[in-house]
A and B are shown apart, each in its own frame.
Chain A
Amino acid sequence: MGFLFSLVAVLVLVGIALVGVGGLGLKVLFGVIIPYAAVLTFFAGLVYRVVDWARSPVPFRIPTTCGQEKSLPWIKPNKIDNPCSTGAVVLRMVFEVLTFRSLFRNMKLDYREGPKIRYSSEKFLWLFAMMFHWAFLVVILRHLRFFTEPIAMWQQTLEHLDGFLEFNLASYAIGLPTIQLSGLVLLGGVSLLLLRRIVVPSVRYISLAADWFPLFLITGICLTGIVSRYVVRLDVINVKELAMGLATLHPVVPEGISVWFYIHLFLVCVLFAYFPFSKLMHLGGVFLSPTRNLVNNSRAVRHVNPWSYPVKTHDYHEYEDDFREEMVEAGLPVEKSLEEAQAEKDAAQAPAAPETQETEEKREE
C-alpha cells in the first residue's frame, strides 16, 4: 500500500507542476513562491526539530561500547569504538557521519538446516548508502554554482573532478554537455536502495509509505534533472538568472525555461518542505544520538541527571528492624541490640501496653 501510494503521490506531484506551469503558466508560483516557502519550511523545521531534541535531557550516560574500555594502563583501549575522551567521541562521530562506520560492520545471517548459523560480511547497504549520500552532497554543492557569482575556486575544482569522466569524443560528437558523475551515481544509489527495499523480504516487510516516498521523490528529482541537462538541454543562463534572483531576494522569472526544469524544481521544493517532518531528519539526529556521542567514562566522572528525584528505599534500619532477632542469633553485628530496640518500641507503644507485654513474654521464652 505504502509503495503504490508513494509512487502515485510522486506522479501526482509531477502532474501538478506540469499542469501548473505547462498548462496554467503559473511560473511565479512555481519559480518563486513555492521555492521560498519550501526553503523557509526547511530551515525553520530543521532548526525546530534539532533544538527540540537538543533541549531534551540526557539523564544517563549510555554509550554503546563497541570495543575495549579504558581501564588498566597496560590494556590498550579502543578509542574510537569506546571513546574515553571528548576527542575520541569526535573521532567516533566523524567516522560515523562520514564513513558510516556502523553500517560497515554489517553482516548477514546465514541460516541453514541443522540448525547451522553463520554470519557473512554484507557491505551492499553500506555501499549503496555511501554512493547515495556522497553523490547527493556533491550534487548539492555543484548546484550552488547557480546561486553564486563569481564561481569560487573550490566549485570549479569540484566540477572538474566530478566531470572527470568526460567522454570527450562522445560528448563532442553528439554535442552532449560534460557528463556529471555525481548525478549518475546519485541515480544509481537511489535506485539500488529502492531495489534493495523491494527485493529483500524483511526490508520490504518493515517499509512504510514514509520509506518509499522519499525514494521515489529523489528518483524523480534525479530523472528530471538528467532530462533537463542532457535531453532538453536547458538554457543555463536563464536558470542562473532565476536562481540568482531568488538568492538576492530580487526574484525574476526569465522566459524560455523548459517545463522540465519547473517539475524538477517543484520536486526539490517538496523534498525541502517534507524534510523536517520525516525520517530524513536522521541527518540532524545522527549527531545527537546518546549511544554514540557520549564518552564512556561514567565510572570515572559523574554524570548528572537534571530531573533526578528522591525515591523511597528500604534503608538499613528498617531492614535491621525486620530481622534483628535472626541477625543476633546468627552472630551478625547489629546497630541496636535487641534490648535497645525493645525499649524503643515500648516507649513508642506505651499507650498500647497489653500487646507489648505479650510480645515481651514471647521474646523471653
Chain B
Amino acid sequence: MAAKTPSPTVVGQIDHHPPAKGWMDTKPEFKPGNFLYAAKASALETVGLPNPRDWSPTDDDWKLPADWKGIVREGMAERLQRFRSFKLFMDICVRCGACADKCHFFIGSGDPKNMPVLRAELIRSIYRGEMKTAGKILGKLAGGRKLTEDVIKEWFYYFFQCTECRRCSVFCPYGIDTAEITIIAREIINLLGCNIDWIASPVANCFMTGNHLGLKPHTFKENIEYLLDDIEEYVGVRIEPSFNRKGAEILFVTPSGDVFAEPGIFTLMGYLMLFEHIGLDYTWSTYASEGGNFGFFTSHEMMKRLNAKMYAESKRLGVKWILGGECGHMWRVVHQYMDTLNGPADWLEMPVSPLTGTRFENAASTKMVHITEFTADLIKNNKLKLDPSQNDHIIPTFHDSCNTSRGMGMLEEPRYVLNNVCNNFVDMAPQVTRENTFCCGSGSGLNAGEYLEMRFRGGLPRANAVKRVHEDHGVNMLSCVCAIDRAVFPALMDYWVPGVGVCGLSELVANALVMEGQGEREYNLRGEENPSYKPPAEEEAPAEAGEEGEE
C-alpha cells in the first residue's frame, strides 16, 4: 500500500476555504499517505496497553472493546479531574479563530479540522454532548455531539495529525494549548487500543532495550565504535569513550536516532569530539540509551515509565549530573516533566561545568543540562579552540525546534554557538523563528514512512521559510538541535527546497574544533572533501607547533 507522493506542484495547491458542509457532518477519508498504520498487537502487549489486536484504520470494524463508550466517558471524566488544563480548555475557548491559520497542518492541507480550534472542538463537542446538561438536551444547538465509532475514527485521524508543537497556544488569548488537548485525546484513544505503530513500537523497544530503535547493548556500543573509526579516519584522532562506567562525573544521554542514521550520526561524532577536546569525565549508558520519549506521545503514564531510566541509571552509576544531547521533545519532557515525574534526584548535584566552573542554576533541581547550553558556556569562556573558517562553505540557518522554543525557551544559546563556529549564519524571518517557529511536520511520533504526503504538507511552512533564505541568501544548510528534525528534514528539503542539507549543531561545532593532534582536516565528518579546507602552507600548524614547543 506504499503511497506514491504526488509532486510538490500538486501538493502545493491548497484551498484554505472551508467547505459548505458543516464540520460535524464530514468524515475523514483514510487514503494512503495521509494516515498512519495501526499499532501492532505485540507492541501493546510488551508494555501492557489495552486491547492489543491486529487491525487497520481502513477497516470498517476497528475491534473496539465491548464497552468502549463507557471507557471513553470514564477516561474523559478522569482526565477532567486530573488536569486543570484539560478542564479549562474544554470550557473557555471563544472560537475567535486567532489560532486557526497558525497550524502547519492547516496551512499545508487546508483541511478545516486542522485548525487548532476545530481539532479541539472534535473532543469538546463530545464533552458537551455527553457530559454537559445543555449539550445532552440541545445537541448540536449547544455544540454537542454523541459519541460514535466515527468520532473515534475522526479522533484517530486528527489527533495523529497534530504534532503537539504548541504554536497555536502562543497566539491564543487564553493560552489554550491544543497540544495539551491532543496529548490527552491520545491518552483516551489509547484506552481503546487505538495507537499508531510508529509510536507503539518505539515505546515497546524503549521499554525493553532502553532505546526506541531497539538497539541492544552491544549494538549500541558497536554503532558508536564505527563512528570512532570514522573520526579517526577523517580527523586523525582516536577517541575511547566509556560505556556504563560507574563513577564518571557526568552521564550523557542523547536520542538514539543519533546513534543510528545520517545525519544524526554526524551530530553524535560532534559530541564525541567535543567531549574529547575538553577532556570531559563522562560515560554513555546502554541502558539509558534514549533521550527521546515516545511515551510522551502515548500517555503521561507511559512518559513516566520510559523516562524513569535516566534518573535510575544516574543513580546506579553514581554520576554527579546528567548532560543531554540535541533533541526537541526529549527536552520538553526533561524540562517540564522529568523532575515532577521521577524526581527528586537527590543523589545528583547541581550541575557545574568542570571546565568553566559555571553553575547551571537553571537546572538546580533536574540536574540535567542541554548540550547547547553547555557548549555556549564553553565558548563564552574560551574553552574551545575553534576555527570557524572550516565551515565557510556552509551558509546555515537555524530551525528552532518546537519543544525547545515553546516548551523551554532556548533561543539564544544555539544562535550564539552558531555565530561562533561559522561565519555565515543567516536567521529566517521572525514570523517563523523562535516562539513563532514552525514544526518540521513530523514531530510527536508522526515521522512514519507511510505518512509522507501528510508530513510534506505539515512541513511546508517550515520548508517555505527555508526556501526564502535559500533563494535570498544562498542558505545551504538547515541546522537544528532535534533528532526528529535531523531524521525528517532531509526528505522534506529534497521535496520542497532541493539543495539544502541538514545537520545538528554539534556537527558544525566539531567541524570548527581544532583537536589536539588532529591530522589534515581535508575531509569533513561525512567523509566528503571539505571545500573550506586550507592546504598546510597557510595553516595554523606553526602556531600549534610553537605552543607545543613551549611546553
Query: Using a CB–CB distance below 8 Å, which chain A residues touch chain B?
Result: 1-2, 5, 49, 52-54, 56-62, 64-72, 74-78, 81-82, 96, 100, 102-103, 105-109, 111, 113-117, 119, 125, 129, 200-211, 277, 279, 281-282, 285-286, 288-292, 296-305, 307-308, 311-316, 319-320, 322-323, 326-327, 329-333
Q: Is the Cβ of A59 less than 8 Å from the Cβ of B83? A: yes
- Contact call B117/A206, Cβ cutoff below 8 A: yes
CB distance from A159 to the nearest CB of B (A): 30
> When the two chains form their complex, are residues B335 and A299 in contact, meaning their CB atoms are under 8 A apart?
yes
Contact A69 B362 (CB under 8 A): yes
Which residue on chain A has the smallest CB distance to residue B334?
Answer: A299
**A74-B140 contact, Cβ under 8 Å, with A64-B166, A106-B171, A315-B312:** no
The answer to the question of B4 belonging to the interface, with a C-beta cut-off of 8 Å to chain A, is no
A206 contacts B409, C-beta separation under 8 Å: no
Asked, given contacts A106-B98, A289-B175, whether A277 binds B84 with beta carbons under 8 Å apart, the answer is: no
Interface residues of B (CB under 8 A from A): 12-14, 16-18, 22-23, 48, 80-85, 87-88, 91-98, 100-101, 107, 112, 115, 117-118, 121, 134, 140-143, 166, 169-177, 180, 207-210, 216-218, 221-222, 243-246, 286-287, 300-301, 304-305, 308-309, 312-313, 316, 334-337, 339-341, 343-344, 358, 360-366, 368, 373, 376-377, 380, 405-413, 416, 429, 431-432, 434-435, 460-461, 464-465
Per a CB cutoff under 8 Å, which of A125, A329, A333 touches B218? A329
Verify B339–A298 contact, CB threshold 8 A. yes
A262 to B169, alpha carbons, bound, how many Å?
Answer: 42
B308 to chain A, nearest CB (A): 5
B166 CB contacts on chain A under 8 angstroms: 64
Check A332 against B243 for contact (C-beta < 8 Å): yes
Residues of A within 8 A of B81 (CB): 56
CB distance from A285 to the nearest CB of B (A): 4
Q: How far is the CB of A190 from chain B (nearest CB, A)?
A: 13
Is B91 within 8 A of A285, CB to CB?
yes
Cα A209 to Cα B362 in complex, Å, equals 47
B91 to chain A, nearest CB (A): 6
Chain A residue, CB-CB nearest to B180:
A62
Q: Which residues of A contact B245 (CB under 8 A)?
A: 333
Interface SS of chain B: helix
From A53, A314, A333, residue with most partner B Cβ within 10 Å: A314
A-B pairs, 5 with minimum CB distance: A69-B409, A285-B92, A330-B218, A291-B175, A65-B409
Task: Please determine whether B312 and A103 come into contact, CB atoms closer than 8 angstroms.
Answer: no
Q: Using A71-B413, A201-B17 as known contacts, say yes or no to A125 and B141 having CB atoms under 8 A apart.
A: no
Report whether B344 and A302 are in contact in the complex, using a CB–CB cutoff of 8 Å. yes
Q: Which residues of B contact A288 (CB under 8 A)?
A: 84, 88
A289 in contact with B176 (CB, 8 Å) = yes
In the complex, are the beta carbons of A330 and B88 less than 8 A apart? Answer: no
The CA-CA distance from A162 to B308 in the complex, in Å, is 60
Are A58 and B85 CB-contacts (below 8 A) given A70-B362, A117-B464, A209-B143? yes
A57 touches B82 (CB 8 A): yes
The answer to whether B142 and A209 have CB atoms under 8 Å apart is yes
**Given A207-B95, A311-B308 in contact, is the A67-B435 Cβ separation under 8 Å?**
yes
Shortest C-beta distance, A113 to chain B (Å), equals 8
B287 near A319 with CB under 8 A, answer yes
Contact A299 B366 (CB under 8 A): yes
B408 / chain A contacts, CB cutoff of 8 Å: 65, 69, 296
Q: Are B336 and A316 in contact (CB under 8 A)?
A: no
For the complex with contacts A54-B84, A66-B406, A206-B100, 16 further pairs of A-B residues with Cβ separation under 8 Å are: A49-B91, A53-B88, A64-B169, A64-B406, A65-B435, A69-B408, A71-B360, A103-B98, A105-B170, A107-B431, A285-B91, A291-B180, A299-B339, A300-B362, A316-B287, A327-B217
**Given A56-B81, A211-B95, A288-B88, residue A103 in contact with residue B413 (CB < 8 A):** no
B460: A residues at CB distance < 8 A: 115, 117
Instruction: Decide if B413 touches A75 in the complex (CB within 8 Å).
Output: yes
In the complex, the answer to whether B16 meets A319 with C-beta atoms within 8 Å is no
Majority-rule SS of A interface residues: loop
Question: CB distance B95 to A302 under 8 Å?
Answer: no
Provide the residues of chain B in CB contact with A66, threshold 8 Å: 170, 406, 409, 435
CB distance from B371 to the nearest CB of A (A): 13
A119 to B101, CA, bound (A): 10
Residues of B within 8 A of A77 (CB): 409
Q: Which residue on chain B has the smallest CB distance to residue A323?
A: B217
A60 cross-chain contacts in B, Cβ below 8 A? 300, 336-337, 340
Residues of B within 8 A of A296 (CB): 408-409
Sampled A-B contacts (25; CB under 8 Å): A53-B84, A57-B82, A57-B83, A57-B84, A58-B83, A60-B336, A64-B177, A65-B405, A71-B360, A71-B362, A103-B96, A201-B17, A203-B96, A205-B22, A206-B23, A206-B115, A211-B95, A282-B94, A290-B84, A298-B339, A307-B82, A316-B309, A327-B218, A331-B221, A332-B221
Q: Which residue of A lies closest to B206 (CB)?
A: A314
Q: What residues of B have a CB within 8 angstroms of the CB of A326 in the complex?
A: 216-218
Min C-beta distance of B306 to chain A, whole Å: 8
- Is there an interface contact between B174 and A286, defined as CB atoms closer than 8 Å? yes
Would B336 and A62 count as touching, CB distance under 8 A?
yes
Q: In the assembled complex, how far is the CB of residue B416 from the closest CB belonging to chain A, in whole angstroms?
A: 7
B100 near A71: Cβ-Cβ < 8 Å = no
B217 and A330 contact, CB distance less than 8 A: yes
- A64 & B362 in contact (Cβ 8 Å cutoff): no
Q: How far is the CA of A301 from the CA of B344 in the complex (A)?
A: 10
| Residues on A with beta carbons closer than 8 Å to the beta carbon of B364 | 299-301
**Roughly how many angstroms separate A96 CA and B80 CA in the complex, as a whole number?**
25
Q: With A71-B373, A323-B217 given, is the CB distance from A61 to B12 under 8 Å? A: no
In the assembly, what is the distance between CA of A96 and CA of B171, in Å?
11
Query: Which of A68, A109, A113 is close to B409, meaning CB atoms less than 8 Å apart?
Result: A68
Taking the nearest CB of chain B, how far is it from the CB of A4, in angstroms? Answer: 11
CB-defined contacts of A206 to chain B, threshold 8 Å: 23, 95, 97, 100, 112, 115, 117-118, 121
Q: Across the two chains, which residue of chain B brings its CB closest to A204?
A: B18
Does the CB pair A313–B173 fall under 8 Å?
A: no
Does A319 lie within 8 Å of B87, measured CB to CB?
no
B residues in contact with A315, CB < 8 Å: 309, 312
Contacts of A319 in B (CB 8 A): 208-210, 287
Distance (whole angstroms) from the CB of A129 to the closest CB of chain B: 8
The residue that A313 contacts in the complex, of B121, B171, B309, with Cβ under 8 A, is B309
A117-B460, A202-B115, A279-B92 known; A316 and B312 CB under 8 Å? yes
Query: Which among B17, B143, B222, B376 has the greatest number of chain A C-beta atoms within 10 A?
Result: B143
Known: A58-B84, A115-B14, A299-B335. A333 touches B246 (CB 8 A): yes
Q: In whole angstroms, what is the CA distance A23 to B175 when docked?
A: 48
With a cutoff of 8 Å between Cβ atoms, the chain B residues found around residue A282 in the complex are 92-94, 173-174
Q: A56-B81, A125-B96, A209-B141 are in contact. Are A322 and B208 (CB under 8 A)?
A: yes
Q: Is the pair A72, B175 in contact by a Cβ cutoff of 8 Å?
A: no
Please give me the residue from chain B that is nearest to A110 by CB atom. B101
Kindly list chain B residues whose C-beta atoms are within 8 Å of the C-beta of A290. Answer: 84-85, 88, 175
